[in-house]
Amino acid sequence: MMEDNRHEAAPALGSPSHSGHEATKVGFVGLFALVVSAMVGGGIFSLPQNMAQHASAGGQIVAWAITGVGMWFIVNTFRVLTNTKPHMQDGLYAYARTGFGDFVGFLVAYGYWLCNCFSLVAYGVLIMSTLDIFMPGTFTNGNNIASTVASSLILWLMFIVASLGTKTGAIINVAGTICKMIPVLVFVVALAAVFKTGVFLRGFWGLSAQGTPLGFDVHRIGAQVSDSMLVTLWLFIGMEGAVVVSGSARHPRDVSRATTAGYLTVLVLYILVSLLPLGVYSSGQVARMPNPSMSVIMEQCFGQWGSIMVNVGVIISVVFAWLVWMIMISQMPLYAARDGIYPRSFRATNRFGAPSTGLVWTAITCQLLFVLCHFVNGDAWEVMISITSVMAMPCYLLCCVYLWKVAVRERTVFRSAVARHRALATGILGTLFSLFLVYSAGLRYLMMACALYAIGLPLLVVARRQRRPGVPLRQLFSHRGWVVLSLIVVLGVCGLVYTVHGGVFGVA
Of residues 332, 322, 341, 378, the one with CA closest to residue 153: 322
* Nearest residue to 77 via CA among 424, 437, 438: 424
Torsion region of 53: left, alpha or beta (phi above 0 gives left; psi -120 to 50 gives alpha):
alpha
**H or E element, residue 51:** helix 43-52
User: To the nearest 5 percent, what fractions of the chain are helix, strand and coil?
Assistant: 75, 0, 20
In a domain, 449, yes or no: yes
Closest CA to 38 of 253, 313, 335, 259: 259
CATH code, domain carrying 278: 1.20.1740.10
Q: What is the pLDDT of residue 166?
A: 54
* Cα distance between residue 438 and residue 45, in whole Å: 25
What whole-number distance in Å separates Cα of residue 232 and Cα of residue 254?
26
- Per run of 10 residues, the mean pLDDT along the chain (length 508 residues) is 34 37 59 72 80 87 88 85 76 83 88 88 87 82 88 90 64 67 88 90 79 79 81 74 56 72 86 92 86 86 85 80 78 85 88 84 93 82 81 87 89 81 90 84 82 90 85 80 88 85 59
**pLDDT score recorded for residue 363:** 92
Reduce the DSSP state of residue 119 to 3 states and report it: helix
Closest alpha carbon to 293 in 19, 50, 472, 496: 50
Helices (H) and strands (E) in the chain, counts: 19, 0
For residue 506, tell me if it sits in a domain.
Answer: no
In a domain, 229, yes or no: yes
Q: CA 437: distance to chain centroid?
A: 14
The residue among 154, 116, 125, 128 whose CA lies nearest residue 381 is 125
Beta bridge partners of 88: none
What is the reported pLDDT for 504? 62
Sequence-distant (6+) residues with CB within 8 A of 309 are 183, 186, 298
Q: Does 508 map to a domain?
A: no
Report the Cα 113 to chain-centroid distance in Å: 10
**Quick one: DSSP state of residue 245?**
T
Whole-Å CA distances, 182 to 30, 31, 46, 306, 311: 18, 19, 16, 12, 12
From the number of C-beta atoms within 10 Å of its C-beta (0-12, 13-18, 19+), residue 425 rates as middle
**Cα gap 161→340, rounded to integer Å:** 28
CB 35 within 8 A of CB 263: yes
Contact 366, 120 (CB under 8 A): yes
Instruction: Report the domain count for the chain.
Output: 1
Task: Assess if residue 1 is contained within a domain.
Answer: no
Asked if the structure places residue 281 within a domain, the reply is yes
Q: What is the pLDDT, as a whole number, of residue 16?
A: 36
Q: What is the amino acid identity at position 30?
A: G
CA-to-CA distance for 256 and 259, rounded, in angstroms?
5
Distance in angstroms (rounded) separating the CA atoms of residues 440 and 449: 14
How far, in Å, CA of 129 to CA of 146, rounded? 11
Contact, 77 vs 430, CB < 8 A? yes
Report which DSSP code applies to 4.
S
Q: Which residues contact 475 (CB under 8 A, 6 or more apart)?
A: 468
Residue 507 lies in a domain: no
| DSSP secondary structure of 145-173 | HHHHHHHHHHHHHHHHHHHT--TTHHHHH
CA angle, residues 453, 39, 363, in degrees to nearest 5: 50
List, in sequence order, every residue forming a beta bridge with 213; answer none if it has no partner.
207
Count of CB atoms within 10 A of residue 456's CB? 18
d(CA 507, CA 167): 43
Would residue 450 count as lying in a domain?
Answer: yes
> Which residue range is the domain that position 467 belongs to?
6-501
Question: How much is the pTM?
Answer: 0.78
